[in-house]
Amino acid sequence: MVKTIAQAGLAVNEKLVIRRNRITNPNIGSSGSKRACIVTGTHGDELEGQFVCAKLADYLHENSSALSGIVDIYPALNPLGIDSITRGIPMFDLDMNRIFPGTSEGTMAECIAADIISDIKGADICIDIHSSNIYLKEIPQVRINEISADYLVPYAKMLNVDYIWIHSSATVLESTLAYSLNDIGTKTLVVEMGVGMRITKEYCDQLIVGILNLLKNIGIWNGPTEPVREPILSFDHDVEFVNSSAAGIFVPCVDHWVDIEKGAHIGDVLDPATGRVEEYVTAPCAGRIFTLREFPIVYGGSLIARILGGEINA
Protein backbone atom coordinates (compact mmCIF):
# COMPACT_ATOMS: atom_id res chain seq x y z
CA MET A 1 0.00 0.00 0.00
CA VAL A 2 1.47 3.33 -1.09
CA LYS A 3 1.04 6.21 1.35
CA THR A 4 2.23 9.82 1.39
CA ILE A 5 4.29 10.34 4.55
CA ALA A 6 5.46 13.92 3.92
CA GLN A 7 4.57 16.73 1.55
CA ALA A 8 5.09 20.44 0.99
CA GLY A 9 3.72 23.02 -1.39
CA LEU A 10 5.82 24.21 -4.32
CA ALA A 11 5.43 26.91 -6.94
CA VAL A 12 2.81 26.72 -9.72
CA ASN A 13 0.43 24.61 -7.62
CA GLU A 14 2.85 21.67 -7.45
CA LYS A 15 3.73 19.54 -4.42
CA LEU A 16 6.81 17.86 -3.07
CA VAL A 17 5.61 14.39 -2.05
CA ILE A 18 7.48 11.63 -0.18
CA ARG A 19 5.85 8.21 -0.48
CA ARG A 20 6.19 4.91 1.32
CA ASN A 21 5.20 1.52 -0.07
CA ARG A 22 4.17 -0.85 2.74
CA ILE A 23 4.23 -4.54 1.86
CA THR A 24 2.64 -7.09 4.20
CA ASN A 25 1.16 -10.55 4.12
CA PRO A 26 -2.55 -10.01 3.30
CA ASN A 27 -3.48 -13.11 5.27
CA ILE A 28 -2.17 -11.86 8.61
CA GLY A 29 -2.58 -8.62 10.48
CA SER A 30 0.28 -6.18 10.80
CA SER A 31 -0.39 -5.20 14.39
CA GLY A 32 2.64 -5.99 16.54
CA SER A 33 4.63 -7.27 13.56
CA LYS A 34 8.31 -6.63 13.12
CA ARG A 35 9.13 -3.92 10.59
CA ALA A 36 12.04 -3.28 8.22
CA CYS A 37 12.55 -0.06 6.25
CA ILE A 38 14.42 0.14 2.94
CA VAL A 39 15.36 3.76 2.25
CA THR A 40 17.06 5.38 -0.74
CA GLY A 41 17.09 8.46 -2.96
CA THR A 42 18.43 10.91 -0.37
CA HIS A 43 20.88 12.06 -3.05
CA GLY A 44 19.25 12.52 -6.44
CA ASP A 45 22.26 11.30 -8.43
CA GLU A 46 22.39 7.95 -6.61
CA LEU A 47 20.25 5.54 -8.60
CA GLU A 48 21.43 2.08 -7.54
CA GLY A 49 18.85 2.06 -4.73
CA GLN A 50 16.04 2.81 -7.18
CA PHE A 51 16.67 -0.50 -8.91
CA VAL A 52 16.96 -2.36 -5.60
CA CYS A 53 13.63 -0.94 -4.40
CA ALA A 54 11.88 -1.74 -7.69
CA LYS A 55 13.05 -5.36 -7.81
CA LEU A 56 12.52 -5.95 -4.09
CA ALA A 57 9.00 -4.48 -4.12
CA ASP A 58 8.01 -6.61 -7.12
CA TYR A 59 9.42 -9.79 -5.57
CA LEU A 60 7.83 -9.22 -2.16
CA HIS A 61 4.43 -8.39 -3.68
CA GLU A 62 4.55 -11.61 -5.71
CA ASN A 63 5.54 -13.63 -2.63
CA SER A 64 3.77 -11.69 0.13
CA SER A 65 2.43 -14.93 1.65
CA ALA A 66 6.00 -15.60 2.85
CA LEU A 67 6.08 -12.38 4.88
CA SER A 68 5.53 -12.52 8.62
CA GLY A 69 6.18 -8.82 9.18
CA ILE A 70 6.19 -5.43 7.48
CA VAL A 71 8.57 -4.15 4.80
CA ASP A 72 8.37 -0.41 4.21
CA ILE A 73 10.05 0.85 1.04
CA TYR A 74 10.93 4.55 0.67
CA PRO A 75 12.22 4.81 -2.92
CA ALA A 76 12.79 8.56 -3.15
CA LEU A 77 13.48 10.74 -0.11
CA ASN A 78 14.63 13.51 -2.46
CA PRO A 79 12.26 13.28 -5.46
CA LEU A 80 13.18 16.73 -6.78
CA GLY A 81 16.83 15.69 -6.85
CA ILE A 82 16.03 12.43 -8.63
CA ASP A 83 13.85 14.21 -11.20
CA SER A 84 16.71 16.57 -12.04
CA ILE A 85 19.59 14.10 -11.38
CA THR A 86 20.88 16.55 -8.78
CA ARG A 87 22.73 15.36 -5.68
CA GLY A 88 21.12 17.87 -3.34
CA ILE A 89 17.70 19.48 -3.22
CA PRO A 90 17.43 21.66 -6.34
CA MET A 91 17.14 25.45 -5.94
CA PHE A 92 18.08 25.19 -2.27
CA ASP A 93 21.66 23.98 -2.94
CA LEU A 94 21.15 21.73 0.08
CA ASP A 95 22.41 18.22 0.85
CA MET A 96 19.38 16.44 2.29
CA ASN A 97 21.61 14.09 4.27
CA ARG A 98 22.85 17.04 6.33
CA ILE A 99 19.53 18.24 7.78
CA PHE A 100 18.32 15.30 9.90
CA PRO A 101 16.60 14.87 12.29
CA GLY A 102 14.86 18.07 11.14
CA THR A 103 12.16 19.93 13.00
CA SER A 104 8.47 20.58 12.45
CA GLU A 105 9.09 24.26 13.11
CA GLY A 106 11.93 24.69 10.61
CA THR A 107 12.25 25.27 6.88
CA MET A 108 10.47 23.13 4.30
CA ALA A 109 13.40 20.72 4.08
CA GLU A 110 13.66 20.44 7.88
CA CYS A 111 9.94 19.71 8.17
CA ILE A 112 10.19 16.99 5.50
CA ALA A 113 13.19 15.48 7.32
CA ALA A 114 11.28 15.45 10.61
CA ASP A 115 8.32 13.67 8.98
CA ILE A 116 10.64 11.03 7.50
CA ILE A 117 12.28 10.37 10.87
CA SER A 118 8.87 10.14 12.53
CA ASP A 119 7.64 7.56 10.03
CA ILE A 120 10.73 5.32 10.18
CA LYS A 121 11.20 5.60 13.95
CA GLY A 122 10.56 2.36 15.83
CA ALA A 123 11.41 0.00 12.96
CA ASP A 124 13.39 -3.11 13.87
CA ILE A 125 15.96 -2.36 11.15
CA CYS A 126 16.50 0.31 8.49
CA ILE A 127 18.74 -0.05 5.43
CA ASP A 128 19.82 3.28 3.93
CA ILE A 129 21.06 2.61 0.37
CA HIS A 130 23.52 4.99 -1.30
CA SER A 131 25.61 4.95 -4.44
CA SER A 132 28.97 6.56 -4.87
CA ASN A 133 29.22 9.82 -6.83
CA ILE A 134 29.95 10.01 -10.57
CA TYR A 135 33.70 10.08 -9.91
CA LEU A 136 34.26 6.84 -7.98
CA LYS A 137 33.14 3.22 -8.11
CA GLU A 138 32.59 1.43 -4.81
CA ILE A 139 32.23 -2.29 -4.17
CA PRO A 140 29.11 -3.18 -2.10
CA GLN A 141 29.91 -2.21 1.47
CA VAL A 142 28.33 -1.20 4.76
CA ARG A 143 29.70 1.85 6.56
CA ILE A 144 29.23 2.00 10.32
CA ASN A 145 30.45 4.44 12.93
CA GLU A 146 32.37 2.92 15.82
CA ILE A 147 29.80 4.17 18.34
CA SER A 148 27.22 1.68 17.06
CA ALA A 149 29.54 -1.03 15.69
CA ASP A 150 28.89 -3.56 18.49
CA TYR A 151 25.21 -3.92 17.69
CA LEU A 152 25.23 -3.12 13.93
CA VAL A 153 28.06 -5.34 12.66
CA PRO A 154 26.10 -8.61 13.16
CA TYR A 155 23.30 -7.22 10.96
CA ALA A 156 25.77 -5.88 8.39
CA LYS A 157 27.27 -9.36 8.01
CA MET A 158 23.86 -10.63 6.87
CA LEU A 159 23.68 -8.21 3.91
CA ASN A 160 25.89 -10.10 1.45
CA VAL A 161 28.30 -7.18 1.01
CA ASP A 162 32.01 -7.52 0.34
CA TYR A 163 33.23 -5.13 2.96
CA ILE A 164 32.27 -3.49 6.29
CA TRP A 165 34.08 -0.22 6.97
CA ILE A 166 33.94 1.00 10.57
CA HIS A 167 34.55 4.75 10.78
CA SER A 168 35.88 6.59 13.79
CA SER A 169 33.30 8.70 15.61
CA ALA A 170 35.27 11.86 14.75
CA THR A 171 34.38 11.46 11.06
CA VAL A 172 30.67 10.76 11.58
CA LEU A 173 28.23 13.53 10.67
CA GLU A 174 25.48 13.82 13.25
CA SER A 175 23.07 15.37 10.72
CA THR A 176 22.73 12.24 8.57
CA LEU A 177 19.64 10.06 8.43
CA ALA A 178 21.53 7.02 9.72
CA TYR A 179 23.08 8.80 12.69
CA SER A 180 19.76 10.40 13.64
CA LEU A 181 17.91 7.08 13.53
CA ASN A 182 20.60 5.17 15.41
CA ASP A 183 20.61 7.96 17.99
CA ILE A 184 16.92 7.33 18.79
CA GLY A 185 17.32 3.53 18.89
CA THR A 186 16.31 2.58 15.33
CA LYS A 187 19.10 0.34 14.02
CA THR A 188 20.22 1.72 10.64
CA LEU A 189 22.82 0.40 8.22
CA VAL A 190 24.33 2.54 5.45
CA VAL A 191 25.08 0.68 2.22
CA GLU A 192 27.39 2.22 -0.41
CA MET A 193 27.88 0.65 -3.84
CA GLY A 194 28.37 1.32 -7.50
CA VAL A 195 28.68 4.65 -9.30
CA GLY A 196 26.56 7.79 -9.37
CA MET A 197 24.00 8.31 -12.16
CA ARG A 198 23.93 4.67 -13.23
CA ILE A 199 22.87 1.19 -12.15
CA THR A 200 25.32 -1.66 -11.55
CA LYS A 201 22.90 -4.56 -11.86
CA GLU A 202 25.17 -7.23 -10.36
CA TYR A 203 25.73 -5.13 -7.22
CA CYS A 204 21.99 -4.51 -6.85
CA ASP A 205 21.19 -8.20 -7.22
CA GLN A 206 23.89 -9.00 -4.66
CA LEU A 207 22.31 -6.62 -2.14
CA ILE A 208 18.79 -7.95 -2.70
CA VAL A 209 20.03 -11.43 -1.77
CA GLY A 210 21.46 -9.89 1.40
CA ILE A 211 18.30 -7.97 2.28
CA LEU A 212 16.19 -11.13 2.03
CA ASN A 213 18.73 -12.96 4.19
CA LEU A 214 18.60 -10.22 6.84
CA LEU A 215 14.78 -10.17 6.77
CA LYS A 216 14.76 -13.92 7.33
CA ASN A 217 17.20 -13.71 10.22
CA ILE A 218 15.12 -11.10 12.06
CA GLY A 219 11.84 -12.96 11.50
CA ILE A 220 10.15 -10.93 8.75
CA TRP A 221 10.68 -13.23 5.74
CA ASN A 222 9.92 -16.96 5.60
CA GLY A 223 10.65 -17.47 1.92
CA PRO A 224 13.78 -18.85 0.21
CA THR A 225 17.18 -17.24 0.64
CA GLU A 226 20.62 -17.78 -0.88
CA PRO A 227 23.98 -18.17 0.88
CA VAL A 228 25.71 -14.86 1.58
CA ARG A 229 29.39 -13.98 1.42
CA GLU A 230 31.52 -13.28 4.47
CA PRO A 231 32.55 -9.61 4.37
CA ILE A 232 35.95 -8.18 5.19
CA LEU A 233 35.82 -6.04 8.34
CA SER A 234 38.14 -3.05 8.72
CA PHE A 235 38.67 0.23 10.55
CA ASP A 236 39.82 3.66 9.39
CA HIS A 237 43.47 2.91 10.12
CA ASP A 238 43.37 0.01 7.66
CA VAL A 239 42.51 2.26 4.70
CA GLU A 240 45.05 4.06 2.48
CA PHE A 241 44.00 6.90 0.17
CA VAL A 242 45.63 7.40 -3.24
CA ASN A 243 45.36 10.98 -4.54
CA SER A 244 46.57 12.44 -7.80
CA SER A 245 49.43 14.93 -7.69
CA ALA A 246 48.90 16.07 -11.29
CA ALA A 247 46.07 17.23 -13.54
CA GLY A 248 44.98 15.34 -16.64
CA ILE A 249 43.16 12.16 -17.66
CA PHE A 250 43.47 9.17 -15.34
CA VAL A 251 43.65 5.82 -17.11
CA PRO A 252 43.61 2.84 -14.69
CA CYS A 253 45.55 -0.34 -15.40
CA VAL A 254 44.09 -2.43 -12.56
CA ASP A 255 40.66 -3.85 -11.92
CA HIS A 256 38.32 -2.99 -9.08
CA TRP A 257 38.43 -5.19 -5.94
CA VAL A 258 41.76 -6.86 -6.68
CA ASP A 259 44.80 -7.51 -4.50
CA ILE A 260 47.91 -5.48 -5.28
CA GLU A 261 51.45 -5.25 -3.94
CA LYS A 262 53.11 -2.13 -2.55
CA GLY A 263 54.46 -0.08 -5.45
CA ALA A 264 52.16 -1.75 -7.99
CA HIS A 265 51.16 0.32 -11.01
CA ILE A 266 47.56 1.55 -10.56
CA GLY A 267 47.32 3.79 -13.62
CA ASP A 268 48.61 6.91 -15.36
CA VAL A 269 47.60 10.56 -15.44
CA LEU A 270 48.02 11.72 -19.05
CA ASP A 271 48.27 15.21 -20.49
CA PRO A 272 45.75 15.12 -23.38
CA ALA A 273 47.53 17.99 -25.17
CA THR A 274 51.00 16.44 -25.29
CA GLY A 275 50.36 12.77 -24.64
CA ARG A 276 52.94 12.77 -21.85
CA VAL A 277 52.48 10.74 -18.69
CA GLU A 278 52.22 13.42 -16.00
CA GLU A 279 52.03 10.91 -13.16
CA TYR A 280 52.75 7.21 -12.85
CA VAL A 281 50.34 6.27 -10.04
CA THR A 282 51.49 3.49 -7.70
CA ALA A 283 50.10 1.79 -4.62
CA PRO A 284 51.43 3.14 -1.30
CA CYS A 285 50.80 -0.22 0.37
CA ALA A 286 49.84 -3.81 -0.32
CA GLY A 287 46.14 -4.59 -0.06
CA ARG A 288 42.92 -4.60 -2.03
CA ILE A 289 41.40 -1.75 -4.07
CA PHE A 290 37.81 -1.18 -2.99
CA THR A 291 37.34 2.32 -4.42
CA LEU A 292 38.58 3.17 -7.92
CA ARG A 293 38.36 6.34 -9.99
CA GLU A 294 35.59 6.09 -12.61
CA PHE A 295 35.48 9.65 -13.97
CA PRO A 296 38.76 10.20 -15.85
CA ILE A 297 39.37 13.94 -15.40
CA VAL A 298 41.57 14.62 -12.34
CA TYR A 299 43.31 17.56 -10.72
CA GLY A 300 45.94 17.74 -8.04
CA GLY A 301 44.44 16.13 -4.94
CA SER A 302 41.68 14.20 -6.75
CA LEU A 303 40.96 10.82 -5.18
CA ILE A 304 42.20 7.97 -7.40
CA ALA A 305 41.63 4.94 -5.17
CA ARG A 306 41.16 3.62 -1.66
CA ILE A 307 43.11 0.54 -0.66
CA LEU A 308 42.26 -1.78 2.20
CA GLY A 309 45.77 -2.35 3.49
CA GLY A 310 47.38 -5.36 5.11
CA GLU A 311 46.78 -9.06 4.63
CA ILE A 312 43.26 -9.75 3.38
CA ASN A 313 41.42 -12.81 4.64
CA ALA A 314 38.18 -13.34 2.75
Could you tell me if 7 and 18 are in contact, meaning their C-beta atoms sit under 8 angstroms apart? yes
Please state the pTM of the whole predicted model: 0.95
Please report, for residues 2, 140, 216, the alpha-carbon distance to residue 161 in angstroms, rounded to integers and kept in the order given. Answer: 29, 5, 16
Q: What is the pLDDT along the chain (314 residues), one digit of tens a residue?
A: 999 999 998 878 888 999 999 999 998 877 778 999 999 999 999 999 999 999 999 999 999 999 999 999 999 999 999 999 899 998 778 999 999 999 999 999 999 999 999 999 999 999 999 999 999 999 999 999 999 999 999 999 999 999 999 988 655 678 999 999 999 999 999 999 999 999 999 999 999 999 999 999 999 999 999 999 999 999 988 999 999 999 999 999 999 999 999 999 999 999 999 999 999 999 999 999 999 999 999 999 999 999 998 655 44
CA distance 90 to 2: 25
DSSP collapsed to 3 states, the chain: CEEEEEEEECCCCCEEEEEEEEECCCCCCCCCCCEEEEEECCCCCCCHHHHHHHHHHHHHHHCHHHECCEEEEECCCCHHHHHHCCCCECCCCECHHHCCCCCCCCCHHHHHHHHHHHHHCCCCEEEEEEECCCCEEEEEEEEEEHHHHHHHHHHHCCCCCCEEEEECHHHCCCCCHHHHHHHCCCCEEEEEEECCCCCCHHHHHHHHHHHHHHHHHCCCECCCCCCCCCCEEEEHHHEEEEECCCCEEEEECCCCCCEECCCCEEEEEECCCCCCEEEEEECCCCEEEEEEECCCEECCCCEEEEEEECCCCC
